[in-house]
Amino acid sequence: MSKRILIVQLFAGLILIVTGETIPCPIELSPSSVVVKYGDPVSVNCSSSQSDIEGIGWESVGGTGLRKVTHLTWTIESLTEWGIKPMCYLTLLNGETCIADLDVILYSFPENISISSSSLNGVMTEGETHTFTCDIPNVAPGQNLTVRWYKDDEFIFENILNSPILEPTNETFFYPFLPGRQDNRAIFRCEAFMDLGPNGPQLNVSSQDYSIEVLFGPDIRCSDLTVQEGETLEGKCDVTGNPRPKVEWLKNGLPISLSIPLRRTDTGIYTVQAEGRVKANKTLQVSVFYGPEKTCLSTLTVAENTPRLACTEGFPQPSEIWYKDEEEVELPEYLTRRDAGQYVIRSFNRVSSINFTVNVIVLCKSSTRRFLRSCVSCYCDPRSFLLPSDPPTDIVELESADVQLGATLDLKCSSMGAPRPDYSWTYYRMANVMEKTEDGVSRLTIHNATGLNMGSYTCHAWNEGGNVSKTVRVTVKSAKQECPIQITPDVMVLQYQSWKQQTTCEPTSTESSNVKEIYWKANQSSINSTKWTPDTKEDWDPKPVCHGVFNGIGECQKPLHYTLYKTPDAVTINSLGDASSAYEGMELQLQCEVVDVAPAQSITVRWMASKGNRTIELDLMEENGTSCNKSEMRHPVNVLCTTKITLKRTHDGVNIRCEAQLNLPQAGRHSPPSMFSDSLNVSVCYKPEINTTKLAGTVPLFTGYDEDLVCEADGSQPLNITWSYMSATGPIESFNKTLRVSAAGYYNCTVRNPCGSTTHMVKVIFKEDYLPLIAGFVALTVIIISIIFIFIYSIYYKNTKMRRYSLKNPKLSTHNGNVAHNGWDTQFPMTKLS
C-alpha cells in the first residue's frame, strides 16, 4: 500500500509541475505588515500550521536564527533603522526553505511646521507676485507627504511629494501668490498631511496663521458731482487705499473744509488730492443745485408793454407754468392791460417745486389820470389807480380739523380788505399739500394724509394796510407724529480708542423753508451743528440725540444708536472648591471672570469642555446655564459669571474653558472676536466598576483542568484587587488580578480605591469534559472510512490492472503475450477469460 500511495503522490506532483502550479509558502505573519513611528517598539509573530517543519527563524535586525518551534516572534524595543526589510523563513524536514517578507513602513512626522513669505513682515504690494514657503522638518517617507495651502480656512492649492528617499529629510514647499486689495488682512497657513495606508495612521499638522497686509492705491472713485444746497462734500468721493490715504479738497488752489454746507455760489472746479502709498489727484466739476425760489412780489405792478418777467430762480433754471382761472395760459412777450389779473404759478426743477399766487397789475401809460372815466378812454385796469386802503379783517372759515390716515382734507382761509389781501401759509411743506387762492379765498388741500402732515397750519393775510394770521392744528388719525430727521449713519458701534467717526443729522425734506434749526445733544450738552463726532476714549454713555425745529411740527428728536465697546483685558476661570480632588456626583461651581469689558450688558459667557481631541458635553444645572452680575454701567467693569455642574466619571481629566463674547448685532461683520480663558483641569474620583463582560457570574470548570478568573475594573487609580473564597482549610485571600481555581465554589472579587469599593461574586461549577470522547469518536470514524476506501480501491485495482484468467482445460502452448513468465517457470497454458 505504501508503494501505491507514493505513486499517487508522485503523479499529483507531476501534474502540478506540468500545469505550473506551486505550493504556497505555509508561513503566516501576524500582522502581515506594520507601520511604526521612529523609536517605537514593534512585534510581529511568524507561525506555520505545518507539522513537518524543522524550524522557523527571522533574518533582520533583532534576528533569531533558526529555532525548532512552530511560531516565533520578532520584537524590537525601539525601531530606528530606516529601510529595514525583515523576513521570516521556514525550513521543512525535507530541507526545503520558504521565505515571507514583512512590509515595514518606518515614519517620522514633525510636531510643528512653519510658514513664511518673500515679503517683509507679510507686507505685500498689489499686483506684485510673492512666494509663500512651508518648511517641514524631519519627515519620512517622502512619497507619502502632501502639503495643502489654505487662505481664510479655504483650500487653494496642493503640493505632492514623490521622493523615493526613506530616511528623514527637511522639505520645503512653495506657493506663488499674486495679491489683490481684496486679500488685505487675509490669513494663510499650510498643512502637512501623511497617509500611511489602511494599517497606519493619517497624520496632519498645521502651521501657525500668517496674516498679510496688501498695499494698494490710493484710488479716487468719483466723477463730476451734483449736490444740493446745504449739503457737504463729505462722503461724496470714495478714496480707498492702504495705508489709509490722507484726502484733501482744493478749489482755486486753496484747501476747503468738507464739513461746511455748500452754497449756490460754490459751484465750480475742484481738485481731490490723496496721499497714501503714492500721491494721486483728480479734477471734477461740482454743481450746487437748489430749488425754485420766488423772486417777485405777491402783487406785481408793471407798466404796459413791459417785457414778461420770470418770478423764480434756481439751479438748474426752473420752468414756470402760469394758471389763470384754473387754466394754463401762455403770457405774451410784452404785457398788456389784458394780461392783468390773478395768476397761480407752478415753478419746478429737478430739486423741488413751489406753487404761489401773483396779482398782476398793468398800469396805463397815462398814469396821471386819476379818475375812473379816464381809465375807460385808455382801457386800463381800475385797480391801477391808488385808492384808500383798508387792512385785512380777521380770518374766518379756518378751524382745527381731524383727517383719517390716507384721506384728503381742505382748509379754507379768507379775509376782507382793500386792496384784496394776499395769502401765505406756514406749515411743514410736503409734495402732497397744494395751495390755491381764488376770489379772495386761499385753500390748502392735503392729499393722502400721513403722519408728517400732522401739526400746526398758519394762514397769513396782508395788504398795504396791515396783516393778520390764524393758526389751527391738523390731526391725522391712526398715525403717529413723525420727526423728519435722518441720521447718517443711524448706528455707530465703535471700539475703544479706535479712529474717530462722524455722524450727520439732516432733515428728510428738501424744502429748506421747513427747517428752523438742527442741533445735537450729547453728554447733557447742546452742540450747535448737524454733525457729531464721539470721543472713543471717553464717550461711554453720551446718549446722543439729534433735535430739529420745523415749521408746523415744532421741535422733535431722534436718538442715535450708539455703542462704544471695549474687549476684555483678560478672561479667567476658577472653581469654588478643589477641582483636582472632586468626586463623582459632586456639584462643582465654576466662575468665569471677564476683566474690564464694556458694555457689560452685551457680554455672553459660554462653557466648553474637552478631553484630548474630543468635545465633552457639560450638563449645566441652571436652566439658562450661566448667571452673571452684569452692571448697568456703560463704562468698563468686571463681569463675574457662575455655573454649576454635576460631576460624572466621564468628566475625569476634562479641561474646561470659558468663552466671553460681546454680542453687538449692530456691528455686523465687524463684531469683536471671542476671548477664551486658560483651561481648568478637573480630576473626578469615581468608585471602581468591575468588567463583568470578561468575568461572568457563572464559570464552568472541567474535571482535570484549572480555570483562570481575571478581575478587571475601571475606576480612579490606585485600584486594589482582592480575591476571597473558602477552601477546605478556611478563608483565603489573594491580591492578584488573576486567580487560578481548580475546585467548584463561590469566589468574590473586591476592587477598592479612595472613592469606594465594588464586589463581584463568581460561581464556579464542575462540568464533564466530553472533548476526549468526541475526539475518539472522530478518530474511529476516520479509520473506518479509510478501511472502506482502501478495500474498494483494492478491488478496483485488481479488476482494471490484473485482468482475470482460468486454469480449466489447460493446453500447452508457446510463449505468448498474455502471461509473463521466467525461463524456468512451468508452462501452464491459460485461457483468457476476458
Q: For 372-419, what is each residue's pLDDT tens digit?
A: 333 333 344 444 443 446 788 899 889 999 999 999 999 999 998 888
Q: How far apart are CA 629 and CA 277, in angstroms?
A: 48
Q: 675-691 pLDDT, tens per residue?
A: 899 988 888 888 898 98
Sign of the torsion formed by the C-alpha atoms of 608, 611, 614 and 619: negative
The grid cell for 576 is 469654588
Percentage above 70 pLDDT, the chain:
87
pLDDT in tens, 587-638: 888 889 999 999 988 888 988 888 877 877 776 655 456 788 887 888 899 9
Q: What angle do CA 776, 781, 784 make, to 5 degrees?
A: 125
The chain-wide mean pLDDT, for the chain, equals: 83
CA distance 340 to 380: 9
Residue 242 backbone phi and psi in degrees, to 5: -140, 115
Residue 628 Cα to chain centre, angstroms: 27
Dist CA 262 CA 231 (whole Å): 6
Read off the pLDDT band of 802 (50, 70, 90): low
Alpha helices per DSSP H over 309-426: 372-378
Residue 22: predicted pLDDT: 46
Name beta bridge partners: 471. 458
Q: Which amino acid is at 64?
A: T
DSSP at 351: S
Quote the pLDDT of residue 38: 93
Q: Which of 55, 53, 46, 38 is nearest to 75 (CA)?
A: 46
Write the DSSP string, 429-440: --TTEEEEEETT
| C-alpha cell, 245 | 490715504
DSSP symbol at 503: E
What lies within 8 Å, CB to CB, of 511 at 6+ separation is 291, 352, 429, 430
Q: Is 329's pLDDT higher than 80?
A: yes
Average of per-residue pLDDT across 354-380: 58
pLDDT, residue 207, reads 94
Q: Which three cell numbers stand for residue 31?
A: 500582522
For 508-648, strand residue ranges (E) read 515-522, 525-527, 531-532, 545-550, 554-559, 561-565, 570-576, 582-583, 587-597, 603-611, 614-616, 627-628, 637-646
Grid cell digits, residue 189: 497657513
Q: Which of 514, 485, 344 is nearest to 427 (CA)?
A: 514
Confidence band (pLDDT; 50, 70, 90) for 793? confident
- Give Cβ neighbours of residue 6 (< 8 Å, ≥ 6 apart): none
Euclidean distance between CA atoms 718 and 584, whole angstroms = 16
C-alpha dist (Å) from residue 91 to 21, 52, 55? 21, 9, 6
| SS3 labels along 762-792 | EEEEEECCCHHHHHHHHHHHHHHHHHHHHHH
Q: Phi, psi (5° rounding) for residue 782?
A: -65, -40
Query: Alpha helix locations (H) across 63-137?
Result: none
Least confident piece of the model among 146-155, 245-254, 607-616? 607-616
